[in-house]
């Protein structure tokens, strides 16, 4: 799954991860991004075909860590060079069921 947007879009995503405000305007090429806090749960990222949403769910502590990483990408990422959100064995906060996501700055 690829998510592309301007630096401001990724900063907005980081803010929404911290606040769980719902749908975001980032371009997944297929639909929107929805953030939901689930107390104590590991972070999951899944594509929900019927709703056409990339659903990001997890406990507030894990949402905060992902938010910090997304914010760092928004500030320090290079245009056209993808940053990957992807589970690997022993990952600190992502659950094994996570869909890999490539984030790309478009400006």
Residues of 22-44 as b/e, b for ≥16 C-beta within 10 angstroms? eebebbbeeebbbbebeeeebbb
pLDDT of residue 26: 59
Record the tokens describing residue 29, joined without a space.
């090429």
| Alpha-carbon gap, residue 10 to 26, rounded angstroms | 8
Digitized pLDDT (tens) for each residue of the chain, 107 residues in all: 888 889 988 898 888 888 765 555 555 566 778 888 888 889 999 988 777 788 899 998 999 999 999 999 999 999 989 999 999 999 988 999 999 999 999 87
CA gap 52, 98 in Å, rounded: 16
Q: What is the pTM of this model?
A: 0.85
SS (H, E, C) 2-71: EEEECHHHHHHHHHHHHHCCCEECCECCCCEEEEEECCCCCEEEEEECCCCEEEEEECHHHHHHHHHHHH
Give me the pLDDT at residue 89, please. 95
pLDDT of residue 70: 94
pLDDT at 36: 86
Reported as a single tens digit per residue, the pLDDT across 27-54 is 556 677 888 888 888 999 998 877 778 8
Residue 76 CA to residue 12 CA, distance in Å, equals 15
Q: Which domains does the chain have, with CATH numbers?
A: 2-105 (3.30.1360)
Q: Could you give the angle at the alpha carbon of 104 between the alpha carbons of 14 and 56, nearest 5°?
A: 40
């Amino acid at each position: 799954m690829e998510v592309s947007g301007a630096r401001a879009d990724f900063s907005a995503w980081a803010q929404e991860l911290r606040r769980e405000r719902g749908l975001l305007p980032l371009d997944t090429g297929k639909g929107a991004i929805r953030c939901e806090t689930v107390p104590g749960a590991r972070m999951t990222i899944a594509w929900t075909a019927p709703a056409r949403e990339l659903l990001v769910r997890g406990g507030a502590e894990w949402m905060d860590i992902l938010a910090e990483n997304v914010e760092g990408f928004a500030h320090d990422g290079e245009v056209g060079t993808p940053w990957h959100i992807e589970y690997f064995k022993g990952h600190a906060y992502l659950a094994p069921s996570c869909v890999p996501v490539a984030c790309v700055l478009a400006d």
